[in-house]
Every structure is written in C-alpha cells, then in structure tokens.
C-alpha cells in the first residue's frame, strides 16, 4: 500500500517533464524534514524510506490529553489554515494516545502513509512527542498566519526519552523585570526544546518581583527599582499563577527563587527590621554583588517562613530555590545557621530545597539540590556532600556570557561562550567526584543586568539554550558537534519564521535566508 503511489508520482513528474500532459501544475513537492534535524537529538530514529504522511484539510486530530491535543491543533491550524477537526475517538490522521510504557516523559512517534501516532505513558510524553512532530514539519509551520504548504512528514518511527529528569532555563526577572507575556513567550521557546523547568530568579538587590501579602512592601516598594534606573515591576499572585499554569500546560515546572541571605537590598529597603542596625538602605540600581545581607538573627526566620509559605502555596512544583550565593557580607557561621533554617522551612512546607552550590557550606536537608555555577571542574565540598546536583557551569551554561568579543550584550567574567562551548561538555562527567547518578540535570541561567527585552533574551538564548537542552535530553551516544551544528542549522529557518533574533554563530552552517 505504502509504496504503491511512488511510481505514480514518478509518472506524473515524467509526464510533466516531457510536456506530455496538460494537467494543472502539481503543488510544490517539498522534501520531508529528516529525523536527524531534530533538536534535541532523539534516542532512536528509524526512517521508512519513501514513506510520507501529508497533513491535509481532512486530517483529524485525536488526543487522549485534551490540553496537548488543543495546543497541537491550534499550532497546526494557524500555519496550515486547515480546519483539522478534533476526532472523538482514535482515527486515521494524527492520534495522541496514552498507552505503552515510555516513562514519565518518553514517547514513540510513528508516521505511516495513513497517519501519525504518538504514544506515551503520560501527558508530558505526548507533549514532548508533539515538539518532535513540529520540527518534522516544514519551518513555515511556525508561522502565525496561513502558509501555502504542503505539509509532509517523513515516515518511520522515533522512540525517545530524556537522559536527565531536570532540564532547566533560568530567567532573572530581578535585575530587569519582564512582563507575563515575555515570560510566556520564553516558556513557548524553551518547551519546544523539551526544557521542563523554568527557574524564576524573583528577588535580588535590584528588585523584588513577587507579591507577598504578609510583607506587602517587598513588592510595592522593593519592586520599584531595576538596573540602571530602568522600570521595575512585580508579579501579582494572579500573574504568577498565570505563568505557572501556562508553564504546566507546556510540561514546564516553575522553580521560584528567593535569593537569601545575600542579594537582598530590595527587601532591606522595604523593611528596615530585616537589617541588623534597623536602617534601610536605598533602593539599588547598580550591578555589584556580595554587599547585602539579611540580619541572620532568629527573628528574621518569621520573614523567611512567611515569604516561603506564600510562595509554596502558589507553586505546584516540588522545588523552592532559596539562593544562598555570593554571601560575602554574611559571616560563615551565620550563613550555615541561616541556610539550615531556611532549608528546614522549605522541607516543613513539603517542598524540596534547592540553592546555589554554596549551600554545601551549611548542613543539608535530605534530598536538597545544589546548583553548581562555578567555573572549574572541581568542587570538593560539593563532591563530598549528599546534595543532588544541577549543573550550570558558568563558562558553559550561562546565557548572559557574550558569544565573542563582538557581542553587544552580556558579560565575560566566566569567558565567552560560542555554540560549540555551550555544547561540548558532559554533565554526567563534568565535576570531579560527582557522577551521573547524583546529577539531576542541567540548567541554562540568563542573568539580565544587560538584558531588557524579549529580543535580548532570545539573542542570548539561541542557539545556546538548545545546546544545553540537548545535553539534558539526548543520550551521550548521540553527542557529536558536527552533527549538532547541522541540527542547529535546521532550526535557523524556524527561528526566522518565529521572528526570533538568534545569534548567527559562524560555527553553524545556517541555510541561506535563515
């Protein structure tokens, strides 16, 4: 069946080429996107040569998970202009089935001449399978308005699952504030590369960005500032919940961070009782670090408990990030006692404490997660600790580092990071004495001292964020820079269609016009 139409197609072409037919011009036949264009690389792909499924006006969509189904249908309808009716039961066309054993996030994608089936054990797997399917369609599928098509998908089978459970992106909304719509666009972008955590850095010296009812001036006063005197702002609880819900629908868990006991000028400016001398500093708009500290007396615990209790109530995900970095203004013994108490509060709230790697200088709660942001491959205290580890080595994964000396945005304190440097490291073997079994995953942080718009965010994140996404998702056996650079190149026309101002790295063979 599958192959029978092939000779027919050849005959039509032959007839046209020889002028033997007066038939109307056939639609442009675009070659289906090959499986080795997908980022992150899939675990297993077996293409069926010559087999294609073409999405057409009559294609129906069945989805065992209505949320994932509707996201897919909306996306495909926009660019194809087709109705793509939703089918009440599995049918030919596109079917998203909850069946089989593919793990928490894995999926199987089958494409035959008769239809497309994605099978997964959970909605997260269906969502991930849909992201792969999007990349198997022509780049114009990403357009916001109707495109001419056609919409072929390469036949075959992909079986896929993640290497690491945690694949994160961090957005610093404290140095500069970004409205909900910007955060949601970033969630769209990161989730299309199967990133499944968004860490929001919600407080720092330059601004406090989340409403707290029990300490209202944190946001209403501490939220007014930003770097360089740029406009501040904060998320109301409803804003934050909207972001969380938007993220959940895209398989993204929000990880909120309140950075403590340092990086707290905005909080101290709002509440003098959080300082040791009872005097508030002014709001801060510079970019220094390491100069502020909560007064670590026991009474500050009320503040920590109140803030984290409200945040936990708004956050369905398992993690509360309590910062803990760059605390040069806190005495080591005070730091250890403070971080111990803060972790206990998180645990009492039924959440898992996460913090920057300096937390290993404090007693650790069972299950505590340390996020490594250093610039070397050694951290004996972290290696000797019981912490689970998320790897964000600054010289590899920090999206605010410049690509090269010509990059207008960003910093260089951890070096410059071109696409190959972001890609060419192994999270399972990066830190001495921290083997893969302790590594929860990877995260690409974006600090925003120099970043003020969604365009800036996108320019710094692309193409490096997909590199980190691939390190988190793909089996190490697929790791190959030349192959990855070609996969990245295939993303260029998609980003172009999305209006995404990515860095046109000279290391990547971008196709013309992307």
User: Cβ(214)–Cβ(305) under 8 Å?
Assistant: no
- Give me the least distance between CB of 337 and ligand ACM, in Å please: 21
Q: How far is the CB of 142 from ligand ACM (least distance, A)?
A: 32
Give backbone dihedrals phi and psi of 293, rounded to 5 degrees, phi first.
-155, 140
Q: Which residues contact 26 (CB under 8 A, 6 or more apart)?
A: 12, 16
Closest alpha carbon to 466 in 2, 6, 99, 37 = 37
Q: Please say which residue, 160 or 358, places its beta carbon nearer to ligand ACM.
A: 358
- Which residue among 184, 310, 326, 436 is the active-site one? 326
Task: State which residue has the least CB distance to ligand ACM.
Answer: 325
Cα pseudo-dihedral 490, 493, 495, 497, rounded to 10:
-150
Between residues 228 and 326, which has the closer beta carbon with respect to ligand ACM? 326
Residue 39 or 266 with smaller CB distance to ligand ACM: 266
Task: Identify which of residues 164 and 373 has a Cβ nearer to ligand ACM in the complex.
Answer: 373
Closest distance to ligand ACM from the beta carbon of 79 (Å)? 39
- Shortest distance in whole angstroms from residue 383 CB to ligand ACM: 19
Least Å from the CB of residue 414 to ligand ACM: 9
Are 160 and 50 a contacting pair, CB within 8 Å?
no
Nearer to ligand ACM, 142 or 325 (CB): 325
Q: Which residue has the tokens 């760059």?
A: 326
Site for ligand ACM in 349-378 (CB under 6 A): 356, 373
Q: List binders of ligand ACM among 368-427 (CB under 6 A).
A: 373
Q: Which is nearer to ligand ACM, 234 or 373 (CB)?
A: 373
Instruction: Tell me, residue by residue from 37 to 76, as one string, x for binding to ligand ACM by CB under 6 A and - for no binding.
Output: ----------------------------------------
Measured from the CB of residue 140, what is the shortest distance to ligand ACM in angstroms?
A: 39
Distance between start and end Cα atoms, the chain: 37
Interface residue with ligand ACM among 326, 420, 424, 501 (CB under 6 A) is 326
Cα atoms found within 13 Å of the Cα of residue 335, Cβ hemisphere only: 21
Q: Which residues contact 270 (CB under 8 A, 6 or more apart)?
A: 208, 215, 217, 218, 220, 221, 222, 280
Give me 205's structure tokens: 């010296």
Q: How far is the CB of 260 from ligand ACM (least distance, A)?
A: 13
Return the number of the residue (105 or 259) whose C-beta is nearest ligand ACM. Answer: 259
Neighbours of 489 (CB within 10 A): 17
**How many angstroms separate the CA atoms of 253 and 21, rounded?**
57
**Chain-centre distance for alpha carbon 15:** 49
Query: Between the CA of residue 357 and those of 101, 375, 399, what are the distances in Å?
Result: 35, 12, 18
Nearer to ligand ACM, 361 or 514 (CB): 361
Nearest approach, Cβ of residue 462 and ligand ACM (Å): 21
The answer to the question of residue 338 lying near ligand ACM (CB under 6 A) is no
The question of whether 326 is a catalytic residue gets the answer yes
Find the largest Cα–Cα distance for the chain.
Answer: 93
Q: Is there a contact between 247 and 264 (Cβ–Cβ < 8 Å)?
A: no
When binding is defined by CB under 6 A, the residue of 325, 449, 456, 458 that contacts ligand ACM is: 325
**381-388 contacts, C-beta under 8 A, 24 or more apart:** 382/357, 382/431, 382/434, 383/431, 383/432, 383/433, 383/434, 384/433, 385/360, 387/357, 387/359, 387/360, 387/438, 388/438, 388/439, 388/440
- Please identify, using beta-carbon distances, which residue of 246 and 425 lies nearer to ligand ACM: 425
Handedness of CA 95, 98, 103, 105 (dihedral sign): positive
CB of 178 to ligand ACM, least distance (A): 18
* CA atoms of 143 and 76, how far apart (whole Å): 10
CA distances from 78 to 71, 148, 190 (A): 11, 12, 20
User: Which secondary structure element, helix H or strand E, spans residue 356, and what is its range?
Assistant: strand 352-356
The residues assigned a catalytic role are 326
Contact set with ligand ACM (CB under 6 A)? 325-326, 356, 373
């Amino acid at each position: 069946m599958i192959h029978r139409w092939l000779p027919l197609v050849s005959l039509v072409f032959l007839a046209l080429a020889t002028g033997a037919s007066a038939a109307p011009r056939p639609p442009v036949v675009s070659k289906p996107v090959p499986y080795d264009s997908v980022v992150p690389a899939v675990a297993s792909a077996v293409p069926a040569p010559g087999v294609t499924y073409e999405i057409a006006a009559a294609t129906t969509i069945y989805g065992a998970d209505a949320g994932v189904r509707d996201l897919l249908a909306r996306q495909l309808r926009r660019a194809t202009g087709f109705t793509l009716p939703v089918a009440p039961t599995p049918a030919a066309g596109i079917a998203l089935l909850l069946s089989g054993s593919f793990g928490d996030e894995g999926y199987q994608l089958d494409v035959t001449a008769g239809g497309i089936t994605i099978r997964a054990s959970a909605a997260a797997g269906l969502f991930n399978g849909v992201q792969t399917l999007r990349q198997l369609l022509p780049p114009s599928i990403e357009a916001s308005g109707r495109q001419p098509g056609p919409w072929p998908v390469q036949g075959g089978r992909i079986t896929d699952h993640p290497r690491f459970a945690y694949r994160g992106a961090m957005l610093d909304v404290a140095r500069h504030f970004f409205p909900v719509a910007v955060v949601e666009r970033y969630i769209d972008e990161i989730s299309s590369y199967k990133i499944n955590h968004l860490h929001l850095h919600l407080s720092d010296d330059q601004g406090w960005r989340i409403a707290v009812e029990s300490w209202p001036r944190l946001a209403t006063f501490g939220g007014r500032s930003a770097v360089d005197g740029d406009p501040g702002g904060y998320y109301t609880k409803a804003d934050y919940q909207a972001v969380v819900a938007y993220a959940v629908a895209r398989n993204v868990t929000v990880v909120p961070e309140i950075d403590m006991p340092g990086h707290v000028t905005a909080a101290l400016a709002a509440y003098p009782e959080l300082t040791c001398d009872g005097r508030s500093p002014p709001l801060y708009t510079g970019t220094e670090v390491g100069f502020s500290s909560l007064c670590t007396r026991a009474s500050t615990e009320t503040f920590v408990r109140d803030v984290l209790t409200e945040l936990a109530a708004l956050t369905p995900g398992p993690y509360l990030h309590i910062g803990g970095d760059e605390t040069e203004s806190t005495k080591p013994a005070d730091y250890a006692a403070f971080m111990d108490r803060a972790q206990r509060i998180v645990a009492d709230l039924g959440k898992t404490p996460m913090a920057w790697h300096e937390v290993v200088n404090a007693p650790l709660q069972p299950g505590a997660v340390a996020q490594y942001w250093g610039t070397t491959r050694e951290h004996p205290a972290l290696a000797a600790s019981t912490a689970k580890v998320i790897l964000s080595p600054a010289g590899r994964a920090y999206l605010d580092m410049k690509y090269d000396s010509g990059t207008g945005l960003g910093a260089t304190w951890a070096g410059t990071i071109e696409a190959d440097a972001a890609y060419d490291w192994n999270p399972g073997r990066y830190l001495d004495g921290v083997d893969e079994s302790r590594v929860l995953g990877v995260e690409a942080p974006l600090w925003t001292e120099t970043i003020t718009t969604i365009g800036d965010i996108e320019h710094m994140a692309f193409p490096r964020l997909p590199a980190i996404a691939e390190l988190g998702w793909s089996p190490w056996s697929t790791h190959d820079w030349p192959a990855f650079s070609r996969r990245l190149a295939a993303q260029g026309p998609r980003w172009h269609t999305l209006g995404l101002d990515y860095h046109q790295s000279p290391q990547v063979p971008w196709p013309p016009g992307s």
